[in-house]
Structure formats: C-alpha cells, structure tokens
Structure 1
Amino acid sequence: MSNKHNAREAIVDTASRLFFTQGYHATGLSQIIKDSESPKGSLYYYFPRGKEELALTCINRTSEIVAKQLRHYVENGKSAAIAIQDFILGMAADAENSTFKGVVPFSFWLSVETSCVSEELRTACQAVFNDWQDVVMQQLLAEGTDQQMAADKASVVISLFEGALLQTLTYRNTQPLLAAARAIPAILD
C-alpha cells in the first residue's frame, strides 16, 4: 500500500514540477513516467483519463497549498492588509531562495495555457482563483467591509499578487513582489 501511495505521489509531484517549469502542452506523459520513475501502468491506474485528470489533480493540490498558506497568514495576522503583506513577502523570500525557479504564478502555467484545452480545466482554474479570493474576502468581511467591496478587493489582491509574481520571475528580482506588498494597505485599508 505504501508503494502505491508513493508512486501516486511521485507522479503528482513530478507532473506538478514539469507543468510548472515546462508548461502543460510541453509536458508529455512519457516524460512524467520517466522522471517519476514510475511504471506506465501506475499513471493510468491512478489517472485513467490521462493527462487532463493528472492536471486537475495538480491544479487542486496547488489551490490547497496556496489557500492553506493564505489562511495561515490571515489567521495569524492582525488585519487583512498585514496578513496579505506577510504572505506576499513570504513568496518573495521563497522566490529568492529558489533562485527564481521554484515558484511560478498559477495563472501562468495553468490558467492561461489550459483554459482553452478543456472546459473542465478552465472551471478548475476558476475555482482556484475563487478559493484564494474567498480567503481574503472572508477576512475583509470579518473586518466590516461590505460584501461587494470585499469581493472586489479580494479580486484585485489576487490579481496583484499573480502579476507581481510573474514580473518577479521575469526580472529575477523580488522588487515587483515587494512593491505589491507595499501597495496592499492602500487597497485593503
């Protein structure tokens, strides 16, 4: 049982890394199988619908990881603004520590690339952004922001974060993320 779990995790870990670094279209199942050192049958056992099902699993995993990080900062922050600033600063540190290779904006690798591939992948990507925005929105609602303004601000925050991360990776410099963190109080307060 442990080997099966390890094979599945190896496949998902490898696919996530390859989707992030190469993109969805440039990543083939043969490469995922080879790089994960898993038998071909394992991939199709765990993901009988193939690459799209595997991508959905990677999308959901990414969503959960980022939403968990956001919730951590929100639960430990004094305000939405401080929590989001800390979250963005943490991403800047992660980007720098990975020499700008270990962190990729979600919108870059999946949303843009896969939204035209299938409606199921597009809907999954939409759910990711909704989940992340909801974490921010719930904190803003708890702080007394009205529903529409909280939704609008949450959308802007996630857009700012994703865009700043894309620029950070393009420039290989944390300055765009640092600038985004500095702008957060103006947006959320």
Structure 2
Amino acid sequence: MDTKSLIIETATTLFQQKGYKTVGLTEILKACNVTKGALYHHFPNGKDELLITCLHALKEDITTDIKVIFSKHPSTEDAIVSMIDKLIRSFEKDGTITGYTFSSIVSEMATMSEPVRTACSDLYENIEQIYYIKLLADGFSVEKATAISLLLTASIEGAMMLCLTQQSTNPLIKISKLLPTLLKNF
C-alpha cells in the first residue's frame, strides 16, 4: 500500500473510532509510521483536507458495498435485512462498526466546516439514492421512494450509533425486524 492510501485508511479508522477532534496528527503519523513531511506532501492543507479525503474514500467504499448487497437481492426488504445482518456480524466480530458509520464525524464537524458538511451530505445522498432506486424497482412511487429512502437512511444510521453507545447489536436487530414490516405496509 502506498503512503497516501495508508494515511487515508488509518486516519479514517481513527476518526471513526475516536472522532475527528480527539485524533491528533501525531497519533495518525505514529499509527502509519510516516513523517509529518510525508503527511503534508499528500495533504498540504493538513488535517481538514485529510478528513475530506477520508470522507470521499468512505463514500466510495460504502456506496460500492451497499450496491453489491442490493444487486444480490430481489427486493428492498431482502437487501435491507442482508445489509443490517452484515452490520450486526461486523459489530459482533469487532465490537464496532467502522467502515459504515461516520455520524461521529458529522456531529463534530458538519457545522464547523462547509467542505466537511458537503462531503458528509454527499455520502448520505449516495446511500439514499441506492435505496431510492431499489424502491422504485419494487414499484414504489417517486414520492414514497423518496420518503422511505430517507427513513431507511436515518433508521439504519441511528441504529448504528445506538449500537456503538449501548455496546449492543439490539438496535440493529430490532430495525432489521421492523423495517421490512414497515416497507410492506407503505
């Protein structure tokens, strides 16, 4: 792995686990075993530029992963349950859900930095768009697909945050059972 990719991957994990404000450049440098010069070579504007790059990388990874899951299932209900099952397994294996959740970054930085807010917004919009397209394919109207894709995004992201704060998979397990029923009744 090249230096830039190593810095992005390491910083992304640290930001997700500890939050943007808590993680200092020294910690990132130490975890990557690179110099400050190497970091500033790739990210001349420092930590904010690195964060935005991390968010763009997350956007690609999360979007690709969700698209793969959704392409394997005939309905939104099946795809949602499969995706949530994957999140549950990840939490049970690792005790966290790095790779999918970025709410801690949003809550810390979205009101402080317009470029970060925009990067976070783009990621949420991509997730909603995947749900929206699948819902349209399931026969939902544009209006309902728009509303449901927002509901799914908020419910899943909220459940992930609750899992992290409660150190339990119960929130994801509950919505995994509830969301398919809600979709059938829409």
| Structure 1 partner of 2:50 | 54
Q: Please, what TM-score do these two structures have when normalized by structure 1? A: 0.91
- 1:37-116 alignment to 2 at 5 Å? 37-100=33-96, 102=98, 105-107=101-103, 109-116=104-111
In 2 relative to 1, CA 36–102 (structure 1 residues): closer, same or farther, beyond 3 Å? Answer: same
Moved over 2 A (4+): 99-105, 186-189
1:148 and 2:143 aligned: yes
CA distance in 2, matches of 1:158, 1:47: 31
Counterpart residue number, 2:182: 187
Partner of 1:166: 161
TM-score scaled by length of structure 2: 0.93
SS for the counterpart of 2:2 is helix
Gaps of 5+ in 2: none
Q: Aligned in 2, Cα 1:172/1:151: closer, same or farther, shift over 3 Å?
A: same
1:23 aligns with 2:19: yes
Classify 1:152/1:101 alpha carbon distance in 2 versus 1 (closer, same or farther; 3 Å). closer
Aligned to 1:157, which of 152, 161, 167?
152
Aligned residue for 2:96, secondary structure, equals coil
Please name the residue that 1:11 is paired with.
Answer: 7
CA-based RMSD of the aligned residues comes to 1.5
Quick one: percent identity of the two aligned structures? 29
Report the alpha carbon displacement of residue 162 of structure 1 after superposing the two structures with TM.
Answer: 0.9
Q: Is 1:123 aligned to residue 118 of structure 2?
A: yes
